[in-house]
Amino acid sequence: MSQHLLTLTTENFDATLAEGVTLVDFWAPWCGPCQMLTPILENQVAPAMAGRAKIGKVNVDEARDLAVKFGIRSIPALLIFKNGQLVQQMVGLQSADVLIKALEAAL
């Protein structure tokens, strides 16, 4: 994973999301649309939001408890948090423009 994307686990999830705005991508290695989303996050969304919002990824196979906690039934699922509170949820492959606008609205 790139330097722009944080790997989120059960252990670091709450602390990482406690302050500021964070986009969390719930994904799995076997998910085609998830694989298509990663470069969008790395190359477009993360640079556009640098210093203003964090981008994290949760592997649903490795962190099933987080997927269950947030009711993730389809991936990719993109959740936006502000100061630890869920403010928006999207399912499916999204464009960089849609994600950047959603993050800017949450700031």
Q: What is the DSSP letter of 46?
A: H
Q: Are 1 and 39 in contact (CB under 8 A)?
A: no
Task: Establish whether 91 is a catalytic residue.
Answer: no
pTM: 0.96
Range of the domain at 32: 5-106
Tell the burial category of 81 from Cβ atoms under 10 Å away from its Cβ (0-12, 13-18, 19+). buried
Q: Looking at this protein, which amino acid is placed at residue 91?
A: V
CA distance 15 to 100: 23
Q: How do the pLDDT tens digits run along the chain, 107 residues long?
A: 567 899 999 999 999 999 999 999 999 999 999 999 999 999 999 999 999 999 999 999 999 999 999 999 999 999 999 999 999 999 999 999 999 999 999 99
Q: Which of 4, 9, 28, 31 is catalytic?
A: 31
Task: Establish whether 75 is a catalytic residue.
Answer: no
What CATH number did the domain enclosing 33 receive? 3.40.30.10
Q: Is 69 left (phi over 0), alpha (psi -120 to 50) or beta?
A: alpha
What 3-state class would DSSP assign to 18? coil
Q: Which of 8, 34, 75, 103 is catalytic?
A: 34
Please tell me the total count of domains within the chain: 1
Q: Are 84 and 98 in contact (CB under 8 A)?
A: no
